[in-house]
Structure 1
Amino acid sequence: MIMIVGSGRLASMLVTVLKENQQTYLFGRNERTVQGLIDQYPFLKKADTSSFAKSKEVFLCLPPHAYEPFLSTYQTFFLQDVNFYHMATAISEKEVKELVKERNVIPLKLAGHAAVVKKEKRGLFVVPQMWKDEGEQIKKWFPTMKFVAAREEEVLKANQLGTEAAVAMVLQLQSALAENKINQEIVKYTLSQTVPGVIEAYQTNDLGGFARKVVEQLKQKGEGNENR
């Protein structure tokens, strides 16, 4: 039986890409968001402490600060051979192992953004090489997700660099748009559609003529990727 712990953005994303299974339980402290997910995905069942001993596969969709309170309170309710899949980017396998007693802790990290995965119903999970066999089983539960074997530190660094670059770009673009006195409705759609659309087209080598011209201009200034 599968159990998802948490009912926030990460848990919501996980449910979206999970293959429907009548043995999937959801546990969380926020009754409103838990019930909201169960209403939206009828194959989910609401879990309580009596469900814990039946759960062999447990996905921890919790923020880092919530791991210790949950595990210190409830870990004794779980089977000794339970698999805890820990998904918070900013906490390591070693740190989680210090919170549990002789139970498997398997890093399952999302390389990307949960809101985008939920919308597109596809994305990339990262599992360390030593847990590759478990990764093969996870693929069956999440058939639309891609998987790669890599260190969880790589996901943390990639997400950190990506977040920093994205925020810096948005701040710079907002400033430039304001300086040019662009209408606020145009600003909103530039940020929400133009930017992600151009990034997607650049990655798939499907840029339009206007965008290709911009790329060439940036290359001439030494700001582009000469290997593209």
Structure 2
Amino acid sequence: MKVLIGSGRLASMLLSVLEKDESTYVFGRNEQTVDSLLRQVDFAKKATVQNLSEAKVLFLCLPKEGYNDFFSHYLKLLRKDVTIYHMATAVMKKEVEQFAGGLRIVPLKLVGHAKVTKANKAGLFVLPPSCEKEMTHLKRWFPSMKIELTGEEMALLANQLGTEAAIKMSMNLTEKMKAHKIPDSLIKQTFDQTVHGVIDAYQANDLGGFAKRIVEQQKKGEDLDEDG
């Protein structure tokens, strides 16, 4: 029996890429959000406290501030042999172990964005090298997900750098386009298609002529900066 703890973005994403299994449950203290989430799938069920106490696998889909609350309420109910996958990017394994009373904690971190992973029904998880034996189960449960064996710190850093770059680019681009009095509809379309399309093409080494010239200009500019 697998139980997803929480009913927000992470839980919704997991259900979108999880194999259909009748032994999958969702547990949350907000019954309305749990019910709303379960209406999106046809295989998961609402978990009771009894289900929680019987589960061999838990996926903690909680924000950082929800960990202490969950364990303080339910730790004594959990099986001693339960495996707990914790997924909050900014929470490290050592922090979770302070709440978990010696239970097995396995970091499982999404590199990317939960909403995009759900839409694509594919993405990338990071699993520590020391947890390689969990790989077989995870590949079976999440057949469309890639799994990289590396430290959870790398997942945090990748997500932090990516988020920072995306926010800076978005704010800068919006400011420039508004300065040129470009209509909002064109700004939205630029973000929806141009930005995504160029980034995908850059990663695939499939840029058009105009984009290639910009790359060369950027490289020359970087060389000048490095030379002083």
Residues 147-203 of structure 1, C-alpha deviations (whole Å, 9 max, x = no match): 111111111111111111111111110111011110110001111221111111110
CA distance in 2, matches of 1:66, 1:124: 24
> AA paired with 1:194?
T
> AA paired with 1:186?
L
Instruction: Map 1:50-199 onto structure 2 (within 5 A).
Output: 50-199=50-199
Residues 30-84 of structure 1, C-alpha deviations (whole Å, 9 max, x = no match): 2222112211102001001011122101000000000000111011111101001
* Greater Cα offset, 143-152 or 201-210: 201-210
CA distance in 2, matches of 1:119, 1:65: 27
CA distance in 2, matches of 1:191, 1:95: 37
SS in 2 for 1:3: strand
* Greater Cα offset, 211-220 or 21-30: 211-220
Identity within the alignment, %? 48
Residues 117-156 of structure 1, C-alpha deviations (whole Å, 9 max, x = no match): 0011111100101101112211110000001111111111
CA distance in 2, matches of 1:210, 1:124: 31
Query: What residue is the counterpart of 2:201 in the other structure?
Result: 201
CA distance in 2, matches of 1:162, 1:218: 19
SS in 2 for 1:222: helix
CA distance in 1, matches of 2:148, 2:176: 38
Cα distance, 1:208 vs. partner?
2.5
> AA paired with 1:75?
L
CA distance in 2, matches of 1:174, 1:139: 40
Query: What residue is the counterpart of 1:30 in the other structure?
Result: 30
CA distance in 2, matches of 1:210, 1:187: 20
SS in 2 for 1:221: helix
Count the aligned residue pairs. 223
| Alignment root-mean-square deviation, CA | 1.2
* TM-score under structure 1 length normalisation: 0.94
> AA paired with 2:187?
V
> AA paired with 2:37?
L
* TM-score under structure 2 length normalisation: 0.94
CA distance in 1, matches of 2:194, 2:121: 21
Q: Which runs of 5+ in 2 are unaligned?
A: 224-228
Instruction: Map 1:5-44 onto structure 2 (within 5 A).
Output: 5-44=5-44
SS in 2 for 1:81: coil
Q: Which runs of 5+ in 1 are unaligned?
A: 224-228
CA distance in 1, matches of 2:151, 2:91: 13
> AA paired with 1:140?
R
> AA paired with 1:205?
N
SS in 1 for 2:70: helix
**Runs of 4+ more than 4 Å apart:** none
